[in-house]
Structure 1
Amino acid sequence: MKRVVIFASGSGTNAENLIKFFHNRDNVSVIHVLTNNPRAKVLQRCLRFGVNTTVFNKEDFIENHKVLKVLKSLNPDLIVLAGFLWKIPEDILKKFPNKIINIHPSLLPKYGGKGMYGKYVHEAVLRNKEVRTGITVHYVNENYDDGAIIFQTHCYIDSLDNEEDIAKKIHVLEMEHFPKVVESVLFPNG
């Protein structure tokens, strides 16, 4: 049984999509969700599916290594960042090399880096009059949105699209592709 741990900060639609995708499977289980936001909707979503959660703060994440201890006890095969915005500390990266992946709402390397998430990405895409955008799933390293790319796919931007329209298109791509990409990382040989 492959064990997946998710980090999320907000509504948790990607986390829920992953939980549903792997629900009742005999080879993969989402065993835990960690969040830095005690009011994140992802906590309610996890409760509905019986997935355990941990809420933590910056001190737990960076200074006292509480999050690292939780991760060690869970022994995940893969850690998935699904709308989690904090940079992963070096001690976690070292303990789980090539076992942490992230989804980003642009075609990296465009529109990545610190502060480039959600609506800020979509605003930049519009401002620069891009004709397409998309999603990137990549390995996490010590820099924001800089790890090796695992998967990308795109959608086209209509001349009348606004930020919300782009966000909806990106959401469709995430829902369709992210669980399959996670599965392909867990089972690279099919």
Structure 2
Amino acid sequence: MKVLKTAVLVSGGGTNLQALIDYQIAQGDSCPYEIVCVISDSKKAFALERAAKAGIPSAICSPYAVMGEEVAKASDRDTKRLAVSNAMLEACEKYGAEAIVEAGCLTVLAGDILKKYENRIINLHPALLPKFGGVGMFGHHVHEAVIAAGEKESGCTIHIADGGCDTGKILIQKKVPVMPDDTPDTLYARIAPKEHEAIVEGLCMLAEMTLQK
């Protein structure tokens, strides 16, 4: 059975990475994907420990790691974004990745990686896009904005990454109610299990779409 060799991009705790790992282990030879590397834009990401425990190779592509501290400090956001994206592309190619999952990765990809992996990059966003997407909309910032806007429902979205910030074709959305007494923490707790379902479904969908070509 042909499987989709996949790189997972992370920034933090890696709970969605863990969902992908757990599914791959549970499905064994029938899993349509194989995680071949985990790439982080932060050396402090706990997701790196999850990768190590699962025996998956990893790479750190933080601005400091790929540019050096002095250059990174003197560079603007777009310059750092491109440098990190190029380093991530090198890591993906090194480990033979055929597709990419952004599982809580805060770097908005730019440059050649978008051409190399066109229509083979999916991103998880913790809201119902196109609402509450864009620059600054990540983690608890999203949930705070949803509650402040008086929304009755929220959830998560899996979409094709196209170089914009939370733009691209939507593949999957999972919805949860927003309760009157919700805090960002309680809303996140309700959404998180849906994220774990959605990211697995999204990668399986991407595998099906890609391997059929």
TM-score range, shorter chain: over 0.9
- The answer for unaligned runs of 5 or more in structure 1 is none
Question: What corresponds to 1:45 in structure 2?
Answer: 50
Distance of 2:124 and 2:59 partners within structure 1: 21
* Equivalent residue letter for 1:52: P
User: How far 1:114 moved relative to its partner?
Assistant: 0.6
Output the TM-score relative to the length of structure 2.
Answer: 0.83
- The answer for unaligned runs of 5 or more in structure 2 is 67-80
Distance of 1:183 and 1:128 partners within structure 2: 33
Distance of 1:102 and 1:38 partners within structure 2: 21
Deviation string 1:156-177 (CA, Å, 9 cap, x unpaired) is 0111111111000110111223
Deviates more, 1:27-36 or 1:17-26: 17-26
Distance of 1:146 and 1:42 partners within structure 2: 25
Distance of 2:17 and 2:88 partners within structure 1: 18
Q: Pick one of 38, 63, 71 that aligns with 2:83.
A: 63
Deviation string 1:76-127 (CA, Å, 9 cap, x unpaired) is 2220000001110121101111011100000000000011011000000010
Q: Pick one of 176, 183, 186 that aligns with 1:162.
A: 183
Cα RMSD for the two superposed structures:
1.6
Question: What corresponds to 2:74 in structure 1?
Answer: none
Deviates more, 1:176-185 or 1:107-116: 176-185
Question: What corresponds to 1:152 in structure 2?
Answer: 173
User: How far 1:4 moved relative to its partner?
Assistant: 1.0
Output the TM-score relative to the length of structure 1.
Answer: 0.93
Structure holding more helix per residue: 2
Distance of 1:96 and 1:176 partners within structure 2: 23
> How many residues were matched structurally?
189
User: How far 1:66 moved relative to its partner?
Assistant: 3.1
Distance of 1:174 and 1:115 partners within structure 2: 19
Distance of 2:21 and 2:168 partners within structure 1: 24
